[in-house]
Amino acid sequence: MTYPPAPWKLQGYAIQTLHLIDIQRVTAFVPSELEIVSLFPGKTLGGIYLSTYVTGSLLEYNELIVVPAFVRYQNQTGAWISHIYVDNEYSVAGGREIWRLPKEMAEFKWDNNQVSVRQNQHQLCQLYYKKGLLSFSTWWRQAFIGNTFGGLGSELLFFQGHFKSQIGLLQANLEIPQESPFVSLSLGQPWLTLNLQNLELLADIPQLLGNQVINLS
């Protein structure tokens, strides 16, 4: 399947939840070669990223990213992605072959301040949200960088996402059913939910960090 080469330029909007997760719960989702970064004793930072990339993007699609932990390898620190779902086959192929991300197909539905994601008739997660005290229009447009690791097969890759967005706060309620493959992370309710409007994202070309087998415990 032909997919666009990196970097990918995308635009749209997204919701990012942030959670403090028990490190003991995430070890099964993180390769043993990576050091889990502790934010507080026994806790690492993780979250759910839900986005829609619209007209003007290199590819148009919806996306769900699950980050169980922040990790460190050699001198790099960033997010480890354990699960990632999209609704575009070209995005699946490019994500797996360029960035070594475990992309799979899923179905997305955005409606009435909620978004649900399903795969083969099974619910993966559902997020209900509403604007908090600070809406995106009250915040200055921000630029920031997200460091990320990818690792399928024997290659460990590192890449950066360059973001520009108006950022505000949301009140959110996250539901993850027992049938979801990441329910055992026990994410619970987010302690912070970010509203990313007028989002521009550049998914950069990855660099190879190692050629060892990525071993999930």
Q: What would the pLDDT profile of 6-24 be if each residue is shown by its tens digit?
A: 999 999 999 999 999 999 9
Q: What is the mean pLDDT of residues 165-169?
A: 93
Question: Can you give the pTM of this predicted structure?
Answer: 0.94
pLDDT of residue 149 exceeding 60:
yes
Residue 186 binned pLDDT confidence (cut-offs 50, 70, 90): very high
Instruction: Give me the residue label for tokens 């070209």.
Output: 90
Q: What is the pLDDT of residues 78-112, one digit of tens each?
A: 999 999 999 999 999 999 999 999 999 999 999 98
Q: What percent of the chain has pLDDT over 70?
A: 94
Q: What is the mean pLDDT of residues 131-139?
A: 59
Instruction: Give me the residue label for tokens 């960088």.
Output: 145
**Which pair of tokens denotes residue 187?**
């994410």
Residue 138 binned pLDDT confidence (cut-offs 50, 70, 90): low
Average pLDDT, the chain: 93
Q: Report DSSP letters for the chain, one per residue.
A: ---PPSPEEEEEEEEEEEEEEEHHHHGGGSBTTSEEPPSBTTEEEEEEEEEEE-TTSSS-EEEEEEE-EEEEETTEEEEEPSEEEES-HHHHHHHHHHS---EEE-EEEE-SSEEEEEETTEEEEEEEEEE-SS-GGGS-EEEEEEEEEE-STT-EEEEEEEEEEEEEEEEEEEE--TTSTTGGG---S-SEEEEEEEEEEEEPPPEEEE-S---B-
Asked whether the CA dihedral 160, 209, 213, 25 is positive or negative, the reply is negative
Domains parsed from the chain with CATH numbers: 8-210 (2.40.400.10)
Q: What is the pLDDT of residues 37-59, one digit of tens each?
A: 999 999 999 999 999 999 999 99
Asked if 199 contacts 13 with a C-beta cutoff of 8 angstroms, the reply is yes
Q: How far apart are CA 161 and CA 65, in angstroms?
A: 13
Query: Which pLDDT belongs to residue 10?
Result: 98
Q: Report which of 189, 16, 205 is spatially closest to residue 100, judged by C-alpha positions.
A: 205
Asked if 165 contacts 145 with a C-beta cutoff of 8 angstroms, the reply is no
Asked if 176 contacts 187 with a C-beta cutoff of 8 angstroms, the reply is yes
Asked if 168 contacts 136 with a C-beta cutoff of 8 angstroms, the reply is yes
Residue 215 binned pLDDT confidence (cut-offs 50, 70, 90): low
pLDDT of residue 198 exceeding 60:
yes
